Amino acid sequence: MTVPDMTDALLKLDRARKHINDLEIKISSFLNTDFYRLSIEPDEGNTSALVKLETFHDVDKEINLILGDAVSNLRSSLDYAFIAVCKATTGIIDQGGFPFANTENDLTGRINKTVPEAFKKCFFDHVKTYKGGAGHDLWLLNELRNTDKHRLLLTTVSIAGITADFVLGTNKFYNCTIGLTAGQTGYLIKAPMGEFDLTKQPRPAFSVQIAEPPHAINVPVLPFLNFVHPQIESLFKRITAL
């Protein structure tokens, strides 16, 4: 059996890595801008102090654009690999693309129908690209690429937590990290009025997330891409090791 020539697939994967690196820089730059404000205000009954977060504008669309490029190249690398497999075993390169399905049974049918016999076991063992399967993230990648064909993928900024120094009553707290979830506007901390005081400006940590319901809700952009990339790389190694 001829070893599949994965050159083109690996080029696509390398291009995806470049887009991911560019995205890391772009997101870091965006999160360093003054796109939010933190303030302390009393609640309606004037009994509690509320730390309030407000964000002033949406994610830079350049981030959405680069995200789409990364998703597209990752997804295309799988099709390129599948074509290499077909070409090496049958000489035919038009047997469809890399197999995805919404259920395990449907994926089994696609693998049986399209994957060359010599590679069927590899695909059955290591390609679980159906919703909820071991390859769910690759399945999600396929869903996102289908969306990106028609419009920019949507992202949002979510606050992951804040690190703050504060006084509560007679107790002093330093470098306390508080995990939070907030939208455009949200109250992060509630404490008794007169007993709570920030001793320095809180340091919020933000996350840029994919916002594409119903399948990708609050999926952190960079962790997702940095998880999928080595998954694909590992799969390519398995294919060429046969």
Average pLDDT over residues 210-231: 94
For 152-205, write each residue's pLDDT tens digit: 999 987 766 667 777 777 888 777 766 554 445 566 666 666 666 666 666 777
* pLDDT at position 241: 86
Could you tell me the pLDDT band of residue 66, with boundaries at 50, 70 and 90? very high
* pLDDT at position 15: 98
Runs of H (alpha helix) within 90-166: 104-114, 120-126, 136-148
* pLDDT at position 198: 66
* pLDDT at position 188: 63
* pLDDT at position 181: 47
Q: Does the structure show a pLDDT above 80 at 119?
A: yes
Nearest one of 60, 54, 64 to 182, comparing CA atoms? 54
**Torsion angle defined by CA atoms of residues 96, 97, 103 and 104, in that order, rounded to the nearest 10 degrees:** 90
Q: Does the structure show a pLDDT above 60 at 77?
A: yes
* pLDDT at position 199: 65
* pLDDT at position 182: 42
pLDDT, greater one: 85 or 94: 85
Mean of the per-residue pLDDT values of the chain: 85
For 23-46, write each residue's pLDDT tens digit: 999 999 988 877 777 777 777 777
Which H or E run includes 66?
helix 61-89
Residue type, position 222, single letter? L
Residue type, position 101, single letter? A
Query: In percent, how much of the chain has pLDDT > 90?
Result: 53
Residues 6+ apart with CB under 8 A from 20: 70, 222, 225, 226, 229
pLDDT, greater one: 169 or 125: 125
* pLDDT at position 196: 64
Phi, psi (deg, nearest 5) at residue 53: -105, 135
Q: Does the structure show a pLDDT above 90 at 90?
A: no
